[in-house]
């Protein structure tokens, strides 16, 4: 009975992961580093589910079953690091490299130097001794500490009253829950063996949670060039250039486009560059003029606050002003251009009127 349940779980996980993989490939467009990490994670889930399906029918295979775990844990840490610093920190890279080298060393050693039947888990103390359990325990603790510290740092810095930050904070909670479940499952595997049914159910649970979280990620991540960077230290480029992170912090993170007095001249002063330099930067990176970029993001923000249903009693005029427009009349043309239709019809479709 348990065998049949697990087979169905692995089959469902494989299908869902395959759908999410294609969705990420074709929908997530501009965040290349984030896209690479998420595709790597889903690929690991696909490997996990496919290998377990294979082994459910043909028997345990150490090489197939144990590879996804270092890959998945590395993706967890690099995701947190990217969202927190807009880059993968050196200590995350070092830990990731050590994890992969450690896995490859075990595979090579116990396949070719001191052969052990691939149908026997490396975690089996009767075969390899207690030191393997100590290594795995140390790895789990390091994984928990690194992921947890990145998560805490990210949460503490996402304190601005920013609708995008709030969505990132809520979204990333699914992954930290996954980290905790993986840690519990790993401890259970160390003491009860790789084939523990509890670990299998826990691992499947966390993979389902996180894969579905990827599918229902904040939509602005799909098309925005927003760089989620919380570091206050940047290397300044000459005045003739604009740093991507600096622009994203000024324009997106600080919600500059909601400023009623937003202008090319004002933003160029904040960035300490000329208006011509700012114009060239915006056109080169967004294929747009300044006013269109501002209005497009105002329309997206308007749609976000309407969908959030926190302002049900607000008039269209009030919502327009929250989104940076001086009145509803200044909203209509940009809304039709960047979304289509009119705001009142859009709100009616959401049962606002």
Going from N- to C-terminal start, the domains of the chain cover 2-220, 244-349
pTM over 0.75: no
Q: Categorize the per-residue pLDDT at 213 as very low, low, confident or very high, splitting at 50, 70 and 90.
A: very high
214: left (phi over 0), alpha (psi -120 to 50) or beta: alpha
* pLDDT higher at 104 or 222: 104
Report percent pLDDT > 70 for the chain: 86
Under DSSP, the state recorded for 236 is P
CATH of 244-349, one of 3.30.450.20, 3.40.50.410, 3.40.50.920, 1.10.10.60: 1.10.10.60
List of E strands, the chain: none
* pLDDT higher at 6 or 126: 6
Residues 21, 41: Cα–Cα separation, whole Å: 9
| C-alpha 155: how far from chain center | 14
For residues 139-161, give the mean pLDDT.
81
According to the model, what pLDDT value does residue 232 have?
37
* pLDDT higher at 344 or 311: 344
Architecture of domain 2-220: Up-down Bundle (1.20)
For residues 111-126, give the mean pLDDT.
71
For residue 188, pLDDT beyond 90? no
Report percent pLDDT > 90 for the chain: 29
Residues 94, 116: Cα–Cα separation, whole Å: 29
């Amino acid at each position: 009975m348990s065998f049949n349940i697990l087979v169905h779980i692995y089959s469902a996980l494989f299908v869902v992961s395959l759908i999410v993989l294609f969705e990420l490939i074709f929908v997530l467009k501009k965040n290349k580093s984030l896209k690479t990490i998420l595709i790597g994670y889903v690929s690991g889930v696909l490997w996990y589910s496919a290998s377990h399906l294979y082994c459910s029918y043909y028997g345990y295979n150490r090489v197939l079953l144990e590879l996804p775990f270092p890959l998945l844990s590395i993706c967890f840490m690099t995701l947190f690091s990217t969202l927190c610093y807009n880059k993968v920190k050196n200590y995350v890279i070092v830990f990731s490299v050590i994890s992969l080298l450690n896995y490859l060393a075990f595979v090579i050693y116990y396949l070719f130097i001191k052969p052990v039947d691939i149908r026997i888990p490396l975690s089996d103390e009767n075969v390899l001794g207690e030191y393997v359990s100590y290594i795995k325990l140390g790895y789990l603790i390091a994984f928990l500490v690194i992921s947890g510290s990145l998560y805490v740092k990210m949460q503490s810095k996402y304190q601005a009253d920013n609708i995008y930050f709030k969505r990132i904070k809520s979204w990333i909670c699914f992954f930290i829950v996954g980290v905790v479940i993986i840690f519990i499952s790993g401890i259970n595997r160390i003491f009860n063996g790789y084939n523990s049914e509890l670990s299998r159910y826990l691992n499947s649970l966390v993979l389902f949670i996180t894969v579905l979280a990827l599918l229902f990620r904040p939509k602005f991540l799909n098309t925005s060039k927003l760089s989620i960077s919380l570091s206050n230290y940047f290397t300044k480029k000459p005045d003739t250039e604009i740093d991507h992170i600096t622009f994203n912090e000024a324009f997106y993170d600080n919600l500059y486009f909601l400023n009623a007095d937003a202008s090319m001249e004002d933003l160029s002063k904040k960035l300490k560059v000329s208006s011509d330099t700012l114009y060239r930067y915006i056109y080169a990176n967004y294929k747009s003029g300044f006013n269109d970029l501002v209005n497009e993001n105002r329309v997206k923000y308007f749609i976000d606050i309407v969908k959030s249903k926190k302002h049900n009693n607000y008039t269209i005029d009030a919502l327009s002003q929250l989104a940076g427009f001086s009145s509803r009349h200044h909203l209509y043309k940009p809304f039709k251009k960047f979304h289509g239709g009119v705001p009142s019809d859009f709100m009616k479709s959401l049962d606002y009127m």
